Structure 1
Amino acid sequence: MLLEGKNAIVTGGSQGIGTAASLELAKEGANVCLTYRRHADEAQDVVQQIERMGRKAICMACDIAVFTEVESVVQATLEAFGRVDILVNNAGMNWDGVCWKMSEEQWDRVMDVNLKGYFNFTRHTAPLFKGQKYGKIVNVTSINGMRGKFGQTNYSASKAGIIGYTKAVAKELGAFGVNVNAVAPGLIETAMLKESEARDKIIDLAMAEIVLKRVGQPEDLASVIAFLASDKARHITGEVIKVDGGQYI
Protein backbone atom coordinates (compact mmCIF):
# COMPACT_ATOMS: atom_id res chain seq x y z
CA MET A 1 0.00 0.00 0.00
CA LEU A 2 1.31 3.41 -1.01
CA LEU A 3 0.02 5.37 1.99
CA GLU A 4 0.29 3.00 4.94
CA GLY A 5 0.21 4.97 8.20
CA LYS A 6 -0.40 8.35 6.54
CA ASN A 7 -3.14 10.78 7.56
CA ALA A 8 -5.08 12.84 5.05
CA ILE A 9 -7.56 15.69 4.86
CA VAL A 10 -9.88 15.70 1.83
CA THR A 11 -12.15 18.69 1.34
CA GLY A 12 -15.54 18.10 -0.23
CA GLY A 13 -15.32 14.40 0.53
CA SER A 14 -19.03 13.61 0.69
CA GLN A 15 -19.60 13.43 -3.07
CA GLY A 16 -18.03 12.83 -6.44
CA ILE A 17 -14.30 13.33 -6.78
CA GLY A 18 -13.88 13.93 -3.04
CA THR A 19 -15.56 10.66 -2.14
CA ALA A 20 -13.52 8.72 -4.70
CA ALA A 21 -10.30 10.35 -3.47
CA SER A 22 -11.13 9.62 0.18
CA LEU A 23 -11.81 5.96 -0.57
CA GLU A 24 -8.73 5.58 -2.75
CA LEU A 25 -6.45 7.11 -0.13
CA ALA A 26 -7.94 4.78 2.48
CA LYS A 27 -7.54 1.81 0.17
CA GLU A 28 -3.85 2.70 -0.05
CA GLY A 29 -3.56 2.76 3.75
CA ALA A 30 -4.36 6.32 4.86
CA ASN A 31 -6.63 7.52 7.64
CA VAL A 32 -8.94 10.24 6.33
CA CYS A 33 -10.69 13.34 7.62
CA LEU A 34 -13.20 14.50 5.03
CA THR A 35 -15.15 17.73 5.01
CA TYR A 36 -18.63 18.43 3.71
CA ARG A 37 -20.96 21.40 3.46
CA ARG A 38 -24.50 20.05 3.09
CA HIS A 39 -24.35 16.28 2.62
CA ALA A 40 -23.91 14.98 6.16
CA ASP A 41 -25.47 11.55 5.56
CA GLU A 42 -23.30 10.93 2.51
CA ALA A 43 -20.20 12.01 4.42
CA GLN A 44 -20.99 9.61 7.25
CA ASP A 45 -21.45 6.81 4.72
CA VAL A 46 -17.95 7.48 3.34
CA VAL A 47 -16.59 7.36 6.91
CA GLN A 48 -18.21 3.97 7.44
CA GLN A 49 -16.79 2.62 4.17
CA ILE A 50 -13.31 3.73 5.23
CA GLU A 51 -13.69 2.19 8.68
CA ARG A 52 -14.69 -1.11 7.08
CA MET A 53 -11.28 -1.06 5.38
CA GLY A 54 -9.68 -0.95 8.81
CA ARG A 55 -8.70 2.72 8.62
CA LYS A 56 -9.66 5.62 10.87
CA ALA A 57 -12.00 8.24 9.49
CA ILE A 58 -13.85 11.34 10.64
CA CYS A 59 -16.04 13.85 8.82
CA MET A 60 -16.66 17.50 9.64
CA ALA A 61 -19.02 20.15 8.36
CA CYS A 62 -16.99 23.08 7.07
CA ASP A 63 -17.41 26.16 4.92
CA ILE A 64 -13.90 26.15 3.50
CA ALA A 65 -14.14 29.89 2.81
CA VAL A 66 -14.21 30.58 6.56
CA PHE A 67 -10.69 30.71 8.01
CA THR A 68 -11.67 29.71 11.57
CA GLU A 69 -13.78 26.75 10.46
CA VAL A 70 -10.83 25.40 8.50
CA GLU A 71 -8.58 25.82 11.52
CA SER A 72 -11.02 23.71 13.55
CA VAL A 73 -10.92 20.91 10.96
CA VAL A 74 -7.12 20.78 11.03
CA GLN A 75 -7.05 20.75 14.82
CA ALA A 76 -9.66 17.98 14.97
CA THR A 77 -7.60 15.92 12.51
CA LEU A 78 -4.52 16.33 14.67
CA GLU A 79 -6.46 15.24 17.74
CA ALA A 80 -7.92 12.21 15.94
CA PHE A 81 -4.82 11.00 14.08
CA GLY A 82 -1.82 12.65 15.75
CA ARG A 83 -0.47 14.34 12.62
CA VAL A 84 -1.39 15.36 9.08
CA ASP A 85 0.61 14.15 6.06
CA ILE A 86 -1.65 14.82 3.07
CA LEU A 87 -3.98 17.62 2.04
CA VAL A 88 -6.33 17.22 -0.92
CA ASN A 89 -7.95 20.55 -1.76
CA ASN A 90 -10.97 19.44 -3.73
CA ALA A 91 -14.11 21.24 -2.55
CA GLY A 92 -15.38 23.80 -5.01
CA MET A 93 -18.43 25.29 -6.67
CA ASN A 94 -19.65 26.98 -9.80
CA TRP A 95 -22.22 29.74 -10.22
CA ASP A 96 -22.27 30.39 -13.92
CA GLY A 97 -23.11 33.47 -15.93
CA VAL A 98 -21.68 35.62 -18.69
CA CYS A 99 -19.46 38.43 -17.48
CA TRP A 100 -21.86 41.21 -18.45
CA LYS A 101 -24.63 39.70 -16.31
CA MET A 102 -22.63 38.22 -13.43
CA SER A 103 -23.38 39.68 -10.01
CA GLU A 104 -20.74 40.70 -7.52
CA GLU A 105 -22.07 37.96 -5.22
CA GLN A 106 -21.57 35.33 -7.92
CA TRP A 107 -17.98 36.43 -8.46
CA ASP A 108 -17.09 36.75 -4.78
CA ARG A 109 -18.61 33.47 -3.61
CA VAL A 110 -16.91 31.37 -6.29
CA MET A 111 -13.58 33.05 -5.55
CA ASP A 112 -14.01 32.62 -1.80
CA VAL A 113 -14.72 28.90 -2.08
CA ASN A 114 -12.54 27.86 -5.01
CA LEU A 115 -9.48 29.98 -4.29
CA LYS A 116 -9.58 31.32 -0.74
CA GLY A 117 -10.74 27.92 0.52
CA TYR A 118 -7.57 26.34 -0.83
CA PHE A 119 -5.47 29.04 0.81
CA ASN A 120 -7.26 28.53 4.13
CA PHE A 121 -6.42 24.83 4.28
CA THR A 122 -2.87 25.31 3.04
CA ARG A 123 -2.31 28.08 5.58
CA HIS A 124 -3.29 25.81 8.47
CA THR A 125 -1.41 22.71 7.29
CA ALA A 126 1.76 24.25 5.83
CA PRO A 127 3.33 24.99 9.25
CA LEU A 128 2.75 21.33 10.19
CA PHE A 129 4.32 20.06 6.98
CA LYS A 130 7.20 22.52 7.31
CA GLY A 131 7.88 21.47 10.90
CA GLN A 132 7.84 17.73 10.19
CA LYS A 133 9.68 18.22 6.87
CA TYR A 134 7.11 16.14 5.06
CA GLY A 135 3.81 16.78 3.34
CA LYS A 136 1.83 16.24 0.17
CA ILE A 137 -0.63 18.80 -1.18
CA VAL A 138 -2.82 17.97 -4.16
CA ASN A 139 -5.04 20.73 -5.53
CA VAL A 140 -7.96 19.99 -7.84
CA THR A 141 -8.17 22.60 -10.59
CA SER A 142 -9.77 22.21 -14.06
CA ILE A 143 -8.86 22.28 -17.71
CA ASN A 144 -11.17 25.31 -17.86
CA GLY A 145 -8.65 27.12 -15.69
CA MET A 146 -6.14 26.49 -18.47
CA ARG A 147 -8.29 27.45 -21.44
CA GLY A 148 -11.29 29.41 -20.12
CA LYS A 149 -14.93 28.54 -20.71
CA PHE A 150 -17.81 30.62 -21.97
CA GLY A 151 -20.22 31.51 -19.16
CA GLN A 152 -17.70 30.63 -16.45
CA THR A 153 -15.47 33.67 -16.03
CA ASN A 154 -15.54 33.35 -12.24
CA TYR A 155 -14.98 29.58 -12.24
CA SER A 156 -12.26 29.69 -14.92
CA ALA A 157 -10.47 32.53 -13.14
CA SER A 158 -10.57 30.72 -9.80
CA LYS A 159 -9.26 27.50 -11.30
CA ALA A 160 -6.52 29.38 -13.15
CA GLY A 161 -5.62 30.98 -9.84
CA ILE A 162 -5.23 27.53 -8.29
CA ILE A 163 -2.63 26.68 -10.92
CA GLY A 164 -0.53 29.74 -10.11
CA TYR A 165 -1.07 29.15 -6.41
CA THR A 166 0.11 25.54 -6.72
CA LYS A 167 3.35 26.58 -8.39
CA ALA A 168 4.06 29.34 -5.88
CA VAL A 169 3.40 27.13 -2.84
CA ALA A 170 5.56 24.39 -4.40
CA LYS A 171 8.45 26.87 -4.52
CA GLU A 172 7.88 28.02 -0.95
CA LEU A 173 7.60 24.56 0.64
CA GLY A 174 9.95 22.53 -1.53
CA ALA A 175 12.97 23.07 0.69
CA PHE A 176 11.03 21.44 3.55
CA GLY A 177 10.30 18.19 1.72
CA VAL A 178 6.75 19.13 0.75
CA ASN A 179 5.37 18.24 -2.69
CA VAL A 180 2.63 20.47 -4.11
CA ASN A 181 0.85 19.48 -7.31
CA ALA A 182 -2.48 19.88 -9.07
CA VAL A 183 -4.78 17.70 -11.13
CA ALA A 184 -6.90 19.25 -13.86
CA PRO A 185 -9.96 17.19 -14.75
CA GLY A 186 -12.03 17.58 -17.84
CA LEU A 187 -15.64 16.43 -17.77
CA ILE A 188 -16.16 14.03 -14.86
CA GLU A 189 -19.46 12.23 -14.27
CA THR A 190 -20.31 13.41 -10.78
CA ALA A 191 -23.71 13.59 -9.09
CA MET A 192 -23.95 17.23 -10.19
CA LEU A 193 -23.67 16.19 -13.82
CA LYS A 194 -26.05 13.26 -13.46
CA GLU A 195 -28.70 15.50 -11.91
CA SER A 196 -28.30 18.33 -14.42
CA GLU A 197 -31.21 18.97 -16.79
CA ALA A 198 -28.60 19.71 -19.47
CA ARG A 199 -26.66 16.46 -18.84
CA ASP A 200 -27.05 15.05 -22.36
CA LYS A 201 -26.09 18.33 -24.02
CA ILE A 202 -23.07 18.76 -21.74
CA ILE A 203 -21.87 15.22 -22.49
CA ASP A 204 -22.40 15.61 -26.24
CA LEU A 205 -20.35 18.81 -26.33
CA ALA A 206 -17.57 17.25 -24.25
CA MET A 207 -17.50 14.04 -26.25
CA ALA A 208 -16.79 16.05 -29.38
CA GLU A 209 -13.53 17.11 -27.66
CA ILE A 210 -12.56 13.98 -25.69
CA VAL A 211 -10.02 11.94 -27.62
CA LEU A 212 -10.62 8.72 -25.67
CA LYS A 213 -14.38 8.95 -26.29
CA ARG A 214 -15.42 8.17 -22.74
CA VAL A 215 -16.72 10.34 -19.94
CA GLY A 216 -14.30 10.53 -17.02
CA GLN A 217 -15.25 8.95 -13.70
CA PRO A 218 -14.28 10.20 -10.23
CA GLU A 219 -12.10 7.11 -9.79
CA ASP A 220 -9.99 8.17 -12.78
CA LEU A 221 -8.98 11.27 -10.88
CA ALA A 222 -8.71 9.55 -7.49
CA SER A 223 -5.96 7.20 -8.65
CA VAL A 224 -3.82 10.13 -9.82
CA ILE A 225 -4.44 11.99 -6.56
CA ALA A 226 -3.33 8.94 -4.57
CA PHE A 227 -0.18 8.65 -6.66
CA LEU A 228 0.71 12.32 -6.14
CA ALA A 229 0.05 11.91 -2.40
CA SER A 230 2.52 9.04 -2.22
CA ASP A 231 6.29 8.81 -2.15
CA LYS A 232 6.14 7.34 -5.66
CA ALA A 233 5.80 11.00 -6.69
CA ARG A 234 8.55 12.26 -4.38
CA HIS A 235 10.41 14.06 -7.20
CA ILE A 236 7.34 15.72 -8.72
CA THR A 237 6.27 19.18 -7.57
CA GLY A 238 4.68 22.27 -9.06
CA GLU A 239 3.06 20.20 -11.79
CA VAL A 240 -0.47 20.26 -13.22
CA ILE A 241 -1.57 16.88 -14.54
CA LYS A 242 -4.56 16.85 -16.88
CA VAL A 243 -6.98 13.96 -16.34
CA ASP A 244 -9.34 14.62 -19.21
CA GLY A 245 -9.17 11.83 -21.77
CA GLY A 246 -7.48 14.25 -24.15
CA GLN A 247 -10.28 16.84 -23.93
CA TYR A 248 -7.79 19.72 -23.73
CA ILE A 249 -5.73 18.71 -26.76
Structure 2
Amino acid sequence: MTGITQDMQGNVCVVTGAARGLGRCISETLAQAGAAQVYACDIDMAPAESWLGGYDNVSAITLNVCDSNALSRLSARLLEEQGRLDVLVNNAGITRDALLGKMTEADWDSVLDVNLKGVFLMTRAMLPLMQIHQSGSIVSISSIVGTDGNIGQSNYAASKGGIISMTRGWAKELVRGGAQIRANCIAPGFINTEMTQAVPQKVLDKMTARIPLGHLGEPTDIAEGVLFLASQRARYITGQVLKIDGGLVL
Protein backbone atom coordinates (compact mmCIF):
# COMPACT_ATOMS: atom_id res chain seq x y z
CA MET A 1 0.00 0.00 0.00
CA THR A 2 1.40 3.38 -1.00
CA GLY A 3 0.46 6.82 0.17
CA ILE A 4 -1.29 5.64 3.34
CA THR A 5 -2.47 8.50 5.53
CA GLN A 6 -3.62 8.61 9.14
CA ASP A 7 -7.22 9.40 8.17
CA MET A 8 -8.58 6.77 10.57
CA GLN A 9 -6.58 7.97 13.57
CA GLY A 10 -8.38 6.82 16.71
CA ASN A 11 -11.44 5.45 14.88
CA VAL A 12 -13.21 2.22 15.79
CA CYS A 13 -14.16 0.27 12.65
CA VAL A 14 -16.12 -2.85 11.76
CA VAL A 15 -15.66 -4.62 8.42
CA THR A 16 -17.74 -7.61 7.28
CA GLY A 17 -16.58 -10.25 4.83
CA ALA A 18 -13.09 -9.40 6.06
CA ALA A 19 -11.17 -12.66 5.94
CA ARG A 20 -9.93 -12.32 2.37
CA GLY A 21 -10.36 -10.46 -0.91
CA LEU A 22 -11.75 -6.95 -0.75
CA GLY A 23 -12.61 -7.27 2.94
CA ARG A 24 -9.06 -8.14 3.87
CA CYS A 25 -7.67 -5.22 1.87
CA ILE A 26 -10.22 -2.82 3.38
CA SER A 27 -9.41 -4.02 6.91
CA GLU A 28 -5.68 -3.67 6.37
CA THR A 29 -6.07 -0.22 4.83
CA LEU A 30 -8.13 1.07 7.75
CA ALA A 31 -5.63 -0.43 10.21
CA GLN A 32 -2.68 1.11 8.39
CA ALA A 33 -4.50 4.45 8.33
CA GLY A 34 -4.36 4.63 12.13
CA ALA A 35 -7.63 3.05 13.27
CA ALA A 36 -7.76 2.47 17.01
CA GLN A 37 -9.27 -0.94 16.33
CA VAL A 38 -10.64 -2.75 13.31
CA TYR A 39 -13.06 -5.58 14.03
CA ALA A 40 -12.62 -7.86 11.03
CA CYS A 41 -15.70 -10.07 10.75
CA ASP A 42 -16.41 -13.08 8.57
CA ILE A 43 -18.39 -16.29 8.75
CA ASP A 44 -15.05 -18.13 8.35
CA MET A 45 -11.99 -16.26 9.64
CA ALA A 46 -9.54 -19.11 8.95
CA PRO A 47 -8.20 -17.49 5.73
CA ALA A 48 -7.24 -14.41 7.77
CA GLU A 49 -4.66 -16.27 9.85
CA SER A 50 -2.01 -15.47 7.24
CA TRP A 51 -2.27 -11.70 7.73
CA LEU A 52 -3.88 -10.94 11.10
CA GLY A 53 -0.64 -11.39 13.00
CA GLY A 54 0.80 -8.28 11.38
CA TYR A 55 -1.66 -5.96 13.14
CA ASP A 56 -2.09 -5.13 16.81
CA ASN A 57 -5.18 -3.07 15.97
CA VAL A 58 -7.20 -5.77 14.18
CA SER A 59 -9.49 -8.19 16.01
CA ALA A 60 -10.86 -11.29 14.30
CA ILE A 61 -14.56 -11.94 14.80
CA THR A 62 -16.31 -15.04 13.47
CA LEU A 63 -19.72 -13.72 12.51
CA ASN A 64 -22.74 -14.56 10.38
CA VAL A 65 -24.33 -11.28 9.27
CA CYS A 66 -27.72 -13.01 9.10
CA ASP A 67 -27.60 -14.05 12.76
CA SER A 68 -29.34 -11.31 14.76
CA ASN A 69 -28.30 -12.78 18.10
CA ALA A 70 -24.63 -12.82 17.08
CA LEU A 71 -24.93 -9.21 15.93
CA SER A 72 -26.38 -8.23 19.29
CA ARG A 73 -23.46 -9.89 21.05
CA LEU A 74 -21.00 -8.01 18.84
CA SER A 75 -22.76 -4.73 19.59
CA ALA A 76 -22.55 -5.43 23.32
CA ARG A 77 -18.85 -6.28 23.03
CA LEU A 78 -18.11 -3.06 21.15
CA LEU A 79 -20.01 -1.04 23.72
CA GLU A 80 -18.00 -2.61 26.52
CA GLU A 81 -14.60 -2.43 24.82
CA GLN A 82 -14.86 0.83 22.88
CA GLY A 83 -18.01 2.67 23.94
CA ARG A 84 -18.79 3.64 20.34
CA LEU A 85 -18.43 2.80 16.65
CA ASP A 86 -17.12 5.25 14.07
CA VAL A 87 -17.02 3.28 10.81
CA LEU A 88 -19.05 0.36 9.49
CA VAL A 89 -18.10 -1.27 6.19
CA ASN A 90 -20.75 -3.66 4.85
CA ASN A 91 -18.70 -5.84 2.53
CA ALA A 92 -19.95 -9.41 3.08
CA GLY A 93 -21.57 -10.89 0.01
CA ILE A 94 -22.05 -14.05 -2.05
CA THR A 95 -23.02 -15.00 -5.60
CA ARG A 96 -25.23 -17.80 -6.90
CA ASP A 97 -25.36 -17.05 -10.63
CA ALA A 98 -27.81 -18.59 -13.08
CA LEU A 99 -29.96 -17.49 -15.98
CA LEU A 100 -33.46 -16.48 -14.92
CA GLY A 101 -35.10 -19.67 -16.12
CA LYS A 102 -32.64 -21.81 -14.22
CA MET A 103 -32.27 -19.77 -11.03
CA THR A 104 -33.73 -21.66 -8.09
CA GLU A 105 -35.63 -20.15 -5.20
CA ALA A 106 -32.76 -21.24 -2.95
CA ASP A 107 -30.31 -19.33 -5.17
CA TRP A 108 -32.46 -16.23 -4.84
CA ASP A 109 -33.02 -16.53 -1.10
CA SER A 110 -29.39 -17.17 -0.16
CA VAL A 111 -28.05 -14.17 -2.07
CA LEU A 112 -30.76 -11.78 -0.88
CA ASP A 113 -30.35 -13.00 2.70
CA VAL A 114 -26.60 -12.37 2.87
CA ASN A 115 -26.18 -9.43 0.51
CA LEU A 116 -29.24 -7.38 1.40
CA LYS A 117 -30.83 -8.60 4.62
CA GLY A 118 -27.37 -9.02 6.12
CA VAL A 119 -26.53 -5.38 5.39
CA PHE A 120 -29.83 -4.29 6.95
CA LEU A 121 -29.34 -6.43 10.06
CA MET A 122 -25.71 -5.42 10.51
CA THR A 123 -26.41 -1.72 10.15
CA ARG A 124 -29.41 -1.87 12.46
CA ALA A 125 -27.31 -3.61 15.13
CA MET A 126 -24.36 -1.21 14.85
CA LEU A 127 -26.32 2.04 14.56
CA PRO A 128 -26.87 2.60 18.31
CA LEU A 129 -23.09 2.63 18.76
CA MET A 130 -22.80 5.50 16.29
CA GLN A 131 -25.73 7.31 17.85
CA ILE A 132 -23.85 7.54 21.15
CA HIS A 133 -21.85 10.44 19.69
CA GLN A 134 -24.28 11.13 16.84
CA SER A 135 -21.58 10.63 14.23
CA GLY A 136 -20.13 7.95 12.01
CA SER A 137 -19.72 6.65 8.50
CA ILE A 138 -21.45 3.66 6.91
CA VAL A 139 -19.89 2.43 3.67
CA SER A 140 -21.64 -0.43 1.90
CA ILE A 141 -20.15 -2.33 -1.02
CA SER A 142 -22.63 -2.51 -3.88
CA SER A 143 -21.62 -3.26 -7.49
CA ILE A 144 -22.00 -1.94 -11.01
CA VAL A 145 -24.31 -4.94 -11.39
CA GLY A 146 -26.55 -3.19 -8.88
CA THR A 147 -26.64 -0.03 -10.98
CA ASP A 148 -26.66 -1.49 -14.49
CA GLY A 149 -27.59 -5.18 -14.25
CA ASN A 150 -25.90 -8.25 -15.70
CA ILE A 151 -26.93 -11.45 -17.46
CA GLY A 152 -27.37 -14.39 -15.10
CA GLN A 153 -27.31 -12.31 -11.94
CA SER A 154 -30.93 -11.41 -11.18
CA ASN A 155 -30.46 -12.16 -7.49
CA TYR A 156 -27.12 -10.37 -7.19
CA ALA A 157 -28.37 -7.32 -9.10
CA ALA A 158 -31.45 -7.09 -6.90
CA SER A 159 -29.39 -7.35 -3.72
CA LYS A 160 -26.80 -4.79 -4.77
CA GLY A 161 -29.42 -2.39 -6.13
CA GLY A 162 -31.29 -2.76 -2.85
CA ILE A 163 -28.18 -1.73 -0.93
CA ILE A 164 -28.08 1.50 -2.91
CA SER A 165 -31.74 2.26 -2.22
CA MET A 166 -31.37 1.51 1.49
CA THR A 167 -28.29 3.69 1.68
CA ARG A 168 -30.06 6.67 0.13
CA GLY A 169 -32.86 6.27 2.65
CA TRP A 170 -30.37 6.05 5.52
CA ALA A 171 -28.60 9.20 4.34
CA LYS A 172 -31.84 11.08 4.93
CA GLU A 173 -32.97 9.22 8.04
CA LEU A 174 -29.78 9.08 10.10
CA VAL A 175 -29.14 12.84 10.20
CA ARG A 176 -32.37 13.71 11.95
CA GLY A 177 -31.84 15.78 15.06
CA GLY A 178 -28.56 17.13 13.74
CA ALA A 179 -26.64 13.84 13.74
CA GLN A 180 -23.64 13.52 11.43
CA ILE A 181 -24.02 9.87 10.49
CA ARG A 182 -23.23 9.46 6.80
CA ALA A 183 -24.12 6.55 4.51
CA ASN A 184 -22.55 5.91 1.12
CA CYS A 185 -21.95 3.06 -1.34
CA ILE A 186 -19.10 1.93 -3.51
CA ALA A 187 -19.91 0.14 -6.77
CA PRO A 188 -16.84 -1.82 -7.90
CA GLY A 189 -16.37 -2.99 -11.46
CA PHE A 190 -14.13 -5.90 -12.41
CA ILE A 191 -11.56 -6.23 -9.63
CA ASN A 192 -8.57 -8.58 -9.50
CA THR A 193 -9.66 -10.88 -6.68
CA GLU A 194 -9.78 -14.63 -6.17
CA MET A 195 -13.19 -14.62 -7.86
CA THR A 196 -11.94 -13.07 -11.10
CA GLN A 197 -8.74 -15.13 -11.03
CA ALA A 198 -10.91 -18.23 -11.35
CA VAL A 199 -12.48 -16.91 -14.58
CA PRO A 200 -11.16 -18.51 -17.83
CA GLN A 201 -8.57 -16.32 -19.55
CA LYS A 202 -10.69 -15.96 -22.69
CA VAL A 203 -13.59 -14.60 -20.66
CA LEU A 204 -11.24 -12.39 -18.65
CA ASP A 205 -9.82 -10.91 -21.85
CA LYS A 206 -13.32 -10.02 -23.04
CA MET A 207 -14.10 -8.41 -19.70
CA THR A 208 -10.91 -6.38 -19.76
CA ALA A 209 -11.52 -5.20 -23.33
CA ARG A 210 -14.71 -3.47 -22.17
CA ILE A 211 -12.87 -1.31 -19.62
CA PRO A 212 -11.78 2.10 -21.00
CA LEU A 213 -8.70 2.18 -18.75
CA GLY A 214 -7.71 -1.21 -20.18
CA HIS A 215 -7.13 -3.29 -17.05
CA LEU A 216 -8.84 -4.76 -14.00
CA GLY A 217 -8.96 -2.82 -10.79
CA GLU A 218 -7.04 -3.93 -7.71
CA PRO A 219 -8.47 -4.44 -4.21
CA THR A 220 -6.49 -1.39 -3.09
CA ASP A 221 -8.53 0.75 -5.49
CA ILE A 222 -11.69 -0.20 -3.61
CA ALA A 223 -10.06 0.00 -0.18
CA GLU A 224 -8.81 3.52 -0.77
CA GLY A 225 -12.30 4.53 -1.89
CA VAL A 226 -13.65 3.13 1.37
CA LEU A 227 -10.97 4.99 3.32
CA PHE A 228 -11.96 8.26 1.69
CA LEU A 229 -15.71 7.85 2.30
CA ALA A 230 -15.10 6.65 5.86
CA SER A 231 -12.88 9.59 6.71
CA GLN A 232 -13.54 13.23 7.53
CA ARG A 233 -12.25 14.10 4.07
CA ALA A 234 -15.73 13.04 2.92
CA ARG A 235 -17.57 14.77 5.78
CA TYR A 236 -19.96 16.53 3.37
CA ILE A 237 -20.72 13.45 1.26
CA THR A 238 -23.70 11.22 2.01
CA GLY A 239 -26.22 9.20 0.03
CA GLN A 240 -23.82 8.74 -2.88
CA VAL A 241 -22.63 5.83 -5.04
CA LEU A 242 -18.94 5.93 -5.93
CA LYS A 243 -18.28 3.80 -9.01
CA ILE A 244 -14.75 2.42 -9.11
CA ASP A 245 -14.75 0.58 -12.41
CA GLY A 246 -12.11 2.00 -14.76
CA GLY A 247 -14.84 3.76 -16.74
CA LEU A 248 -16.73 0.56 -17.53
CA VAL A 249 -20.11 2.17 -16.82
CA LEU A 250 -20.36 5.73 -18.08
The 2-side partners of 1:145 and 1:137 are apart by 18
Shift of 1:99: 1.2
> For residues 161-209 of structure 1, what are the alpha-carbon distances to aligned partners after superposition, in whole Å with 9 as ceiling and x for unaligned?
0110110011111231101000000011111222x2x332342222122
Q: Is residue 188–residue 216 contact of structure 1 (8 Å, CA) maintained in 2?
A: yes
- In the other structure, the counterpart of 2:230 is 229
Contact 2:15 2:88 in 1 (8 A): yes
Aligned-pair Cα RMSD in Å: 1.3
Aligned-pair distance for 1:43? 2.2
| Secondary structure, aligned partner of 2:7 | coil
Note closer, same or farther for the CA distance 1:74–1:45 as it changes in structure 2 (3 Å cut): farther
- Residue in 2 aligned with 1:191? 194
Asked if residue 9 in structure 1 is aligned to residue 10 in structure 2, the reply is no
2:29 and 2:223 in contact (8 A); partners too: yes
Contact 1:20 1:219 in 2 (8 A): yes
**1:55-134 matches, cutoff 5 A:** 56-134=57-135
Judge which range, 233-242 or 200-209, deviates more: 200-209
- In structure 2, relative to structure 1, the CA distance for the partners of 1:191 and 1:79 (3 Å cut) is farther
Q: Distance in 1 between matches of 2:60 and 2:159?
A: 26
Shift of 1:246: 0.5
Question: Is 1:26–2:27 an aligned residue pair?
Answer: no
Distance 1:7 1:106, change over 3 A: same
Q: Deviations over 1:69-98 (max 9, x none)?
A: 222223333333332110000010000011
Contact 2:16 2:92 in 1 (8 A): yes
How many matched pairs?
242
Q: Distance in 2 between matches of 1:167 and 1:202?
A: 34
In 2: Cα distance, 1:46 partner to 1:77 partner:
22
- Residue 243 of structure 2 corresponds to 242
Matches within 5 A, 1:206-221: 206-221=207-222
Q: Is the 8 A contact 1:209 1:246 kept in 2?
A: no
Give every structure 1 segment of 4 or more consecutive aligned residues whose post-TM-superposition deviation is greater than 4 Å. Answer: none
- 2:84, 2:133 within 8 Å by CA — same for their partners in 1? no
1:126-152 Cα shifts (integer Å, max 9, x gaps): 122123111100000000101110000
1:204 equivalent in structure 2: 205
Q: Contact 2:136–2:181 at 8 Å: present in 1 too?
A: yes
TM-score, length of structure 2 as denominator length = 0.93
CA distance in 1, matches of 2:133, 2:51: 29
Paired residue type of 1:45:
S
Letter in 2 for 1:12: G
Q: What 5-or-longer segments of structure 1 have no aligned partner?
A: none
Asked if 1 retains the 8 angstrom alpha-carbon contact of 2:75 and 2:129, the reply is: no
Report 1:35-46 matches (<5 A): 35-38=41-44, 40-46=45-51
**What is the alpha-carbon distance in structure 2 between the residues aligned to residue 37 and residue 191 of structure 1?**
17
TM normalised by structure 1 equals 0.93
Secondary structure in 1 matching 2:53? helix
Distance 1:41 1:214 in 2: 31
Letter aligned with residue 249 of structure 2: Y
Q: Which residue of 1 aligns with 2:154?
A: 153
Structure 1 pair 147/58, CA: closer, same or farther in 2 (3 Å)? same
